[in-house]
Amino acid sequence: FAYGLQQILVGLPRTAIYGLLAAAYALVFGLVGRFNLAFGELAALGAAATAVGVGLLLTFGAVAPLPALLLGAVCALLASAVHGAVGGYWTIVKIRSAGGQASLVATVGLSLALMEYIRLVQGTATVWFPPVWSQAWLLLRSGEFVVSITPVSLLTSAIGLGAGGAVVVAMQRSRFGRAWRAYADDPKAAALFGIDGNALLVRTLALSGALAGLSGALVVLQYGGLGFAGGFQLGLKALVAAVLGGVGSVPGAFLGGLAIGAFETLWSMLMPIDARDIALYSLLAAVLIFRPGGFFGMKDATPRQV
């Protein structure tokens, strides 16, 4: 029990990060039925921007970690939102009429371009930050095994889960969320009521890019850094989470991210960790065969659903 509880506590930050990135996938796909495969690289860009923000404040003599990390998070949100909106405009908005395959290939090109861009700017060496708020809080003991959690893990989990929950609530209650749901349900009817589809899509791309950037900032806060190529596997697992939850549904995709984190934690508790990713991708294949709409979506595959 103690070992299982420790695995759950260790997996909380990773679960929150998966949920944020899965929601980013669903925001774009749920609106226009297009996959943006560059979110992992946008997360890596957010991590690099976090390093820039922290470095800028340290240059001016700041020593407290909280202001530096706050500035780094703001830089991550802005950088990923701008790159997500601009990159998505050229890879999705401008070629929507060409079909889904053209956009899919274009976003693959965008992800490779962003990866190389980060490599050229940041270099091949990952910038690692010293741990902050990493003193262990002891929770319980089972013989010689001690269950503990760190303040940074609690903070990362709270930010990720809180941000994801806020997006889910905003999609139901805000003016943007109402416009998003209306356009996702019937683009032509929404256009008759004055909703500009392209402008809405650009705002959606910016929001989803900001979520990816925040996930990158949380990776830096929790684990110390993210390399220029480190976003690929992160984005791939988040895509798996979005598909499992129902990629056309923002709440479903967010819950799918939490489910993926829970699956990895449960597997780590009971089975060999080195086979965890194989089991995860096998689960994806099974879901695509037997329930293509995802666990939290409809039984049949649907491109857009709320």
The pTM (predicted TM-score) of the whole model is 0.90
pLDDT value for 227: 86
The string of pLDDT tens digits covering residues 229-248 is 888 888 988 988 888 888 88
Give CA–CA dist 232/43, Å, rounded. Answer: 9
What the block records as the tokens of 216 is 């990158």
Strands (E), 128-218: 137-142, 145-149
Average pLDDT over the chain reads: 88
Q: Label residue 200 by pLDDT band (50, 70, 90).
A: very high
pLDDT of residue 131: 82
Q: Summarize pLDDT for 219-234 with one digit per residue, the tens.
A: 999 998 888 888 888 8
CA–CA separation, 140 and 148 (whole Å): 7
Average pLDDT (261-278) is 87
160-186, pLDDT tens digit by residue?
A: 999 999 999 999 999 999 999 999 999
**Start-end of H helices in 33-150:** 39-59, 65-88, 100-122
